[in-house]
Amino acid sequence: MREILGRRRRLRLRRKGRPAQLDAALTCATAWRWPVLPGVGLEAAGGRGDRGRGCACPDPECVVPGAHPFDPGLLAATTDERMVRWWWSNRPTAPIVLATGGHAPCALSLPAVAAARALADLDRMGTRLGPVVATPTRWSLLVAPYTLERLGELLHAQDWVPSSLRFHGEGGYLVLPPSEVAAGQVRWERAPAPGPRSGSNRGAVAGPAAPWLPDVGAVLDALVEASNGAPDGGSRLAY
């Protein structure tokens, strides 16, 4: 009996010692059925001297350092457990990139200060929010998948949409926690909460354990208003 208990303890220790990125990537891919792939990441410490750590991609002027796919490209995103294990076993600190749209979540991102105000407004209105991803400069609200036609209709109803509000739909991507990019650590401002097992949420991602996601129309007005009332957060692409 002692031998069996000892073996179980060793297995738990090995599991706990597994890189956080691999655990998170496996949860996204296998439990939530969100297609992921490794991001390019940052160059090794000291690579640019006093300029700090830049993107590991060949572009010295990369506008989203560390926070984008490179090799493999975005089309390689998958929910296959073996592929995910292979990727992060070879690159254990690689950022986790979610391929948005299709059957996967979409997202809206905006400067952190404006996002914090928008979340407070949505909370006061009693709007149920889904997961919120945060970096020191930008926050991203995950929403149920939407089509370009649906988004276009919603945006057409707005008087003005600021350039600092970014949309991550089909063909786009988003970096998920616990990744590190040039802007800093990526974390959950609002942690994912399980959705209904029946999949009754319209447009929700398939899978009994997938986090609940709001409809884009439920949050868009508040995000536009908050973005319009705040200084421009810089580049529309900046993370």
What pLDDT digit, counting tens, does each position of 54-74 carry?
Answer: 999 999 999 999 999 999 999
Per residue in 32-48, pLDDT (tens digit) is: 999 999 999 998 865 55
Segment 168-195 mean pLDDT? 93
Residue (of 148, 157, 174, 168) closest to 221 by Cα position: 157
Predicted pLDDT of residue 57: 94
Residue (of 166, 174, 185, 180) closest to 237 by Cα position: 166
Per the domain annotation, does 203 fall within a domain? yes
Token pair for residue 2? 């002692």
Range of the domain at 102: 19-228
Predicted pLDDT of residue 170: 95
Per the domain annotation, does 190 fall within a domain? yes
Average pLDDT across the chain, whole number: 85
Distance CA 107, CA 161 (A): 16
- 3-class DSSP state of 7: helix
Q: Which residue has the higher pLDDT, 75 or 2?
A: 75
pLDDT at 229 over 90: no
Contact call for residues 226 and 115 (beta carbons, < 8 A): yes
Per the domain annotation, does 90 fall within a domain? yes
Per the domain annotation, does 211 fall within a domain? yes
pTM for this structure? 0.83
Per residue in 99-109, pLDDT (tens digit) is: 999 999 999 99
Predicted pLDDT of residue 232: 52
Per the domain annotation, does 12 fall within a domain? no
Least confident of 106-110, 147-151, 195-199, 211-215: 195-199
Residue reference for tokens 């209709």: 153
Per the domain annotation, does 125 fall within a domain? yes
Domain count, the chain: 1
Predicted pLDDT of residue 44: 80
Per the domain annotation, does 236 fall within a domain? no
Residue (of 223, 113, 111, 239) closest to 175 by Cα position: 239
138: β partners: 111
Instruction: Report the 10 Å Cβ neighbour count for 148.
Output: 12
pLDDT at 50 over 70: no
Residue reference for tokens 């991102």: 109
Predicted pLDDT of residue 188: 98
Instruction: Report the 10 Å Cβ neighbour count for 235.
Output: 12
Per the domain annotation, does 233 fall within a domain? no
**C-alpha dist (Å) from residue 99 to 11, 104, 190, 199:** 32, 7, 20, 21
